[in-house]
Amino acid sequence: QVQLVESGGGLVQPGGSLRLSCAASGFTFNQYAINWYRQAPGKEREFVAIINGAGDFTNTADSVKGRFIVSRDNAKNTVYLQMNSLKPEDTAVYYCKTGRIRGQAYWGQGTQVTVSS
């Protein structure tokens, strides 16, 4: 069964850094893109970053460009989101998501990131 598990969230001060992990299982990991999304209270879920299966293409949302870096280690079946220069507006639940696997995307359970002094 396909499973994604996010970890690494927590409380961090503005200007700080945090690294999120997305551990995957149940599919051929290096064949699929992985996306990061986030959702703040009262707001719609928004795209944050994407990395292709090989890890040689990435893109990030304008709101995080230059601060967040998405990467993957296919030998470990893990995708990372390195978050630097964090701002209070980055506070949200962060989710990882697969590209469509036989027509179906799969989501992790989310991890809470809170940026506050």
Which pLDDT belongs to residue 3? 97
> Which position has the token pair 């220069």?
85
pLDDT 10s digits, 22-62: 999 999 999 999 999 999 999 999 999 999 999 999 999 99
Residue type, 6: E
Which pLDDT belongs to residue 97? 98
Which pLDDT belongs to residue 83? 98
**Which of 34, 38, 28 lies closest to 55, judged by CA?**
34
Dihedral sign of CA atoms 53, 112, 87, 39 in order: positive
DSSP string of 5-34, one letter each residue: EEE--EEE-TT--EEEEEEEESS-GGGS-E
The Cα 68–Cα 65 span in angstroms is 6
Confidence of residue 75 (pLDDT cuts 50, 70, 90): very high
Reduced to 3 states (helix: H, G, I; strand: E, B; else coil), residue 76 is helix
Which pLDDT belongs to residue 117? 94
Confidence of residue 73 (pLDDT cuts 50, 70, 90): very high
* pLDDT averaged over every residue in the chain: 97
